[in-house]
Structure 1
Amino acid sequence: MKNEVTLPHGYKPFGLLKVCSNNHKNGRVPISISGDQPFLVGKGKKPRVWINQLALDEIGKTKPLVRDNLTLHPQINVDELESEVIVKVGNEVLLHVVKISDDEAHIIKLDLRMIGIQIYGDESKLHVVNQTLSNNEFVNVDCMIGVNMG
């Protein structure tokens, strides 16, 4: 597992990021898989989103699909509304985040299964591999959920 986490230039985490009903307060990375981040949601005028496809057979090898709300893949669309960002693959939502305030955002839909990662959820619960999390509080932890696939 990698010890050093490299975060994108300009990424600033929200003070409170609600990830499918689970609160992550004063953290940097919502979910880490063997040291890599499948997604990040950061502060900005609108939420700023990064999504990576992970090469699960090679730790540390990621393929960026969305970088700071800019799609890098022809099948992925990023819709920016006044205080929301919706990332879709075709008509299916990959990530939908709503900015509540300058320091709070809520991920109300997440489905990374389309890019080969068993993480999905809605406003009531979050599924990470074979675990289900609902209405939990993660305070002052760098990473809310860490999964080691190696």
Structure 2
Amino acid sequence: MNLNELWSLYEADKRIQGFSPKTLKAYALQHKMLVLELGNLDVTEVTLTILKEYLAKQAVHLKTDKIVVLMTPLSVQEERIWKRYEERIAGIVPNKKRETLEGIHNLLAWNKDYNLTKLPNLIGHWDYKHKMILVRDNLDLLELQLM
């Protein structure tokens, strides 16, 4: 079995587990980078040494002395807040504190103000703009590695 065949099985397994299309796309990009570098090797040929050398070579492309600012879309953040609230209320996720609908509304309001006012204000007046990398999703991170 070669790396591409292994990827097909791995991807199918992750789809069954419910991984998002964006996550799978990011994983596919990582796989493509690996195969471009190593070739479509048989899995029995892939050793720990080969993987370490590949990762060391990839590390050279990573930006050092940079500040990554994650700017997840507000709609995604709000969806995650509601999902966590629903999971806690349903008892799916353990929770030691008593959550209220009012508390969630306060969190959503604070989060919106932070994302629309405070974070842009910070970025606009920041002394480290030359070190900043804005990231909106996983694909942005992967694109940085390809630079």
Range of TM-score over shorter length: under 0.3
Q: Which has the higher contact order (CA 8 A, sep 6+)?
A: 2
Task: Tell me which protein shows more strand as a share of its residues.
Answer: 1
TM-score, structure 1 as length reference: 0.27
Pick the structure with greater CA Rg.
Answer: 2
